[in-house]
Structures are given as structure tokens and as C-alpha cells.
Structure 1
Amino acid sequence: MNTYTLSAAILCFLLGLVHSILGEYLIFKEKRIKGRFVPSKTGVELKERHLRILWATWHLTSLFGWCIGAFLIKVSLQKTSLNSDLIDFIITSTSYTMLAAALLVLLATKGKHPGWIILLLIAVLLITGS
């Protein structure tokens, strides 16, 4: 078992969970019409259809993070019995993606959103464990 990869996988799941929960609380709570699941209360600059796709995209990010976490769990637990070229590709592409995501969030938020730290940590764990 590769504990670095497993740790990165757990962080992917935790990041996705926190992302969805905090997004619902901090961003979408005030945009929801009572009794509706999908936010649809809009303002001057945002149409309802745009708000709805933003909400869906917000949660897609979490789902994709969980999917990456699931891949990483499989890799961490069975690395020796899986195709090593495929595993190297998965780890390398995920590492670079997490690193690019960390830089994107860092630059876009001027370092004020803590998500970049977790994304960077995931990348470092994957690079260290490979």
C-alpha cells in the first residue's frame, strides 16, 4: 500500500465534501427559493439558467474530485498488481492536474482561497509517493 497516494485520495474526498458543503452554505443558500432544491433566485446580472449551471458545475467539481480519489485509492492499494505504465500515467497526469489547479486557484483568488493549499498538497503527495 502506498500511503502517500492513499493520503492524496483521502484529501480528494475531503476537499470535494468541504467544497460542496461550504458552497451550499456560503454561496447558494441565499439563491434558493423556499422549497426548491436547485437555486433559482437571480439578480440583475445573472439569469436563472446561468445560476443553475453554476450550481451544477460547482457540484460536478466535487464529483470529479471524488472520482479521482476513487482512482487513487485503487492505485494505492493495488499498485503492484496493476499495469505499471497505466499507473504511472494516472499518477503523473493527476499530479500535474492538481498542481495546475492549485496555481489557478492561487492566481485567481490572489491566495485568499485555501483550496489551492490542499490541491498543492495532493500534488506533492502524489509526486512524493510515485
Structure 2
Amino acid sequence: MNNYLFIAGILSFLLGVIHSVLGEYLIFKKKRIKKEIVPSKDSLELRERHLRILWSTWHLASVFGWCIAGLLIKISLIENFQEIELVNFILELISSTMFFGAILVLIGTKGKHPGWFILLLIGFLIVVSCKIM
């Protein structure tokens, strides 16, 4: 088992869970009408349709994180790689995505959101795992 990839996968999964839970609590909780699942309370800044797509996109990021977590965990459990080039390609794509995501969150939040660090850590763990494979 590749422990680095396994830890990166677990971190990706946890990041998605924390992202969705805290987003619901800190951002979308006050935007609901009568406990609806999708927030729909208009405000001066956001119309209902904008709020709904923002909510959907928010949780879509978590779903993508869970998908990446599944890929990383599955790859971490493989003992003998039949298609090492394909696995390396997938890992390079995921690590690049994590690094660019970290930069985006770092710049977008001026470093105040801890998500950039977790994304950076996940990317780093993937790169380290590729060095030992």
C-alpha cells in the first residue's frame, strides 16, 4: 500500500465533507426559506437563481473532491501496476489540480481560508508518492 496516496485520498475526502458541512452552516443556513434543501432567499446581492447555482457549485466541488479521493485510495491499494504510465498520468493530473487549486484559494482569500494549505498538502503527498513508486 502507498501510504502517501492513501493519506492524500483521506484528506481529499475529509476536505470535501468539511467543505460541504461548513458551507451549509456558515454560508447557506440563513439563505433558506422554510428549511428547503436548496437555499432560495433573495437578497440585494444575489437573486434566487444565482444563489441556487452558487449552492450547487459549492457542493459540486465537494463531489469532485470525493471522486479524487476515491481514485487516490484505489490507486494507493494497488500492489502491482499493470499500466504504470496511465497511473502516473492520473496522479500528475490530480497533483496539478491540487496545486492550482491551492494557488487559486490562496490568492482568492488572501491566505485566510485554510483550504489552500490542505490542497497544497494533498498535491505534495501525491508528488512524494510518485517518487517512491
TM-score scaled to structure 2, two decimals?
0.95
What's the RMSD between the two structures over aligned residues? 0.9
The residue that corresponds to 2:114 in the other structure is: 114
- 1:117-128 equivalent positions in 2, closer than 5 A: 117-128=117-128
Does 2:20 correspond to 1:41?
Answer: no
Q: Give aligned pairs, total.
A: 130
After superposing the two structures, state which structure 1 stretch, 34-43 or 105-114, moved more.
34-43
Does 2:93 correspond to 1:93?
Answer: yes
Aligned-pair CA distance for 1:79:
5.1
The percentage of aligned residue pairs carrying the same residue is 59
The Cα offsets for residues 17-51 of structure 1, whole Å up to 9 and x where unpaired, read as: 00000000000000001131110012012110110
The residue that corresponds to 2:56 in the other structure is: 56
TM-score scaled to structure 1, two decimals?
0.97
Aligned-pair CA distance for 1:111:
0.3
Paired letter, 2:100: A
SS at match of 2:80: helix
The residue that corresponds to 1:13 in the other structure is: 13
Paired letter, 1:49: R
Moved segments of 4+, more than 2 Å: none
Output the CA distance in 2 between the equivalents of 1:20 and 1:79. 33
Paired letter, 1:33: I
Paired letter, 1:16: G
Q: 1:79 to 1:21 in 2, by over 3 A?
A: same
Q: Which runs of 5+ in 2 are unaligned?
A: none
